[in-house]
Structure 1
Amino acid sequence: MTTSGRDRVIDDAARRGILVEIVERPPASSLEEVAAGLGLEPSEIVKTLVVKRHDGDFVFALVPGDRQISWAKLRALVNVNKLSMPHQDVARDATGYERGTITPLGSTTAWPVFADERIVGRRIALGAGEHGLSAFVDADQLLDSYGATIADITDELKPREA
């Protein structure tokens, strides 16, 4: 029997001593709508990005919803010249999760975690292993359990072109 993504998140969180609350995410067409539906600020919704290193390994980058990854900052921190976002199929193979559901919790491989410093000390929502769900966790518990590297790895979101 295959374990669901949600169950993998719950099981891994329990093994790590992390309290996790899985909630249904209301339908929404923007980050602001998702945040409002969950009773959060956009910065409390954390995107888990799978980033490919030049050597073929991966890292997780935890980025507040209202910010974007800074490639220059992350490259310097990871100490590599090249990082990229892999194709969604590659990300799924690396984590066992589809894009939009990715979380370090329950990933098929425990890749190193790099987290933006702005999530420290907060209760955050991140992917829960399945579409339509969010996992609420204490960011500090999550980061501690992974021995995450915490630094400024983001920039302000650039406004979208009209």
Structure 2
Amino acid sequence: MTPAVRALEAAGIDFHLTEYAHDPRAEAFGEEAAKALGLASQTVFKTLLAKLDDGRLVVALVPVSARLDLKALARAAGARKATLAEPAFAERTTGYVVGGISPLGQKKRLQTFLDDSAMALSTLHVSGGRRGLEIGLAPDDLVALTGARPVTLART
């Protein structure tokens, strides 16, 4: 059981877990999950950490079919600039490995931004806290548990 699953259970949130055999050669972890589970790529969200020019770290969730608009993230966070955090730094900060970083149950709670396309979905999927494990839940429940702010973050 991962910290993400424990956080959902502790909050009493309705969710479902799906597992797949992770290919260690895979580089696009979210796209691998979508394909392996037969999910539409716009319903599977990748969790990215970004560093703002004022030194803060934030979490951004965007569909795996899109790229994160760093300028939009910076604006939403009230900063001038945002850059993706180095993978090793993201792992140390969240307690998860890259490809398995969940927005839930992170070691340190960070301000979180969710691409607003998620709010039109009945269910979205995020990493369950390890490669090969996905959590399906309602967008409103993700927002409630993480304090995420829905904003436009995705670029295609």
TM-score tier after normalising by the smaller chain length? 0.7 to 0.9
One-letter amino acid of the counterpart of residue 25, structure 1: Y
Match of 1:134 in 2: 134
Is 1:54 equivalent to 2:53 in the alignment? yes
Pair 146,34 (structure 1): closer, same or farther in 2 beyond 3 Å: closer
State the distance in 2 between where 1:33 and 1:99 align. Answer: 14
Q: Which moved more, 1:80-89 or 1:51-60?
A: 51-60
Is 1:16 equivalent to 2:16 in the alignment? no
Match of 1:44 in 2: 43
Partner-residue secondary structure (3-state), 1:60: strand
- Correspondence 1:82-101 to 2 at 5 A: 82-101=81-100
CA contact (8 A) 2:33 2:132 kept: no
One-letter amino acid of the counterpart of residue 38, structure 1: L
Partner-residue secondary structure (3-state), 2:39: coil
Deviation at 1:35, TM superposition (A): 2.1
Deviation at 1:103, TM superposition (A): 1.1
State the distance in 1 between where 2:4 and 2:60 align. Answer: 17
Q: What runs of 5+ residues in structure 1 fail to find an aligned partner?
A: 1-5, 157-162
State the distance in 2 between where 1:53 and 1:16 align. Answer: 30
Normalised to the residue count of structure 2, the TM-score between the two structures is 0.86
State the distance in 1 between where 2:10 and 2:84 align. Answer: 29
CA contact (8 A) 1:18 1:142 kept: no
Match of 2:34 in 1: 35
CA contact (8 A) 1:61 1:115 kept: yes
Residue-pair matches, total: 151
Deviation at 1:39, TM superposition (A): 2.8
Deviation at 1:32, TM superposition (A): 5.6
Normalised to the residue count of structure 1, the TM-score between the two structures is 0.83
Match of 1:120 in 2: 119
After the TM superposition, which segments of 4 or more aligned residues of structure 1 sit over 3 Å from their partners?
Answer: 26-34
State the distance in 2 between where 1:88 and 1:58 align. Answer: 13
Partner-residue secondary structure (3-state), 1:48: strand
Deviation at 1:27, TM superposition (A): 4.4
Match of 1:160 in 2: none
The superposition leaves residues 43-83 of structure 1 with CA deviations (integer Å, 9 ceiling, x where unpaired) of: 01100101112233211101011111111211111111121
Pair 144,121 (structure 1): closer, same or farther in 2 beyond 3 Å: farther
Deviation at 1:33, TM superposition (A): 5.7
Overall identity of the aligned pairs, in %: 26
Q: What runs of 5+ residues in structure 2 fail to find an aligned partner?
A: none
Which structure has the bigger radius of gyration? 1
The superposition leaves residues 79-110 of structure 1 with CA deviations (integer Å, 9 ceiling, x where unpaired) of: 11121111111001110011111112110011
Pair 155,21 (structure 1): closer, same or farther in 2 beyond 3 Å: same
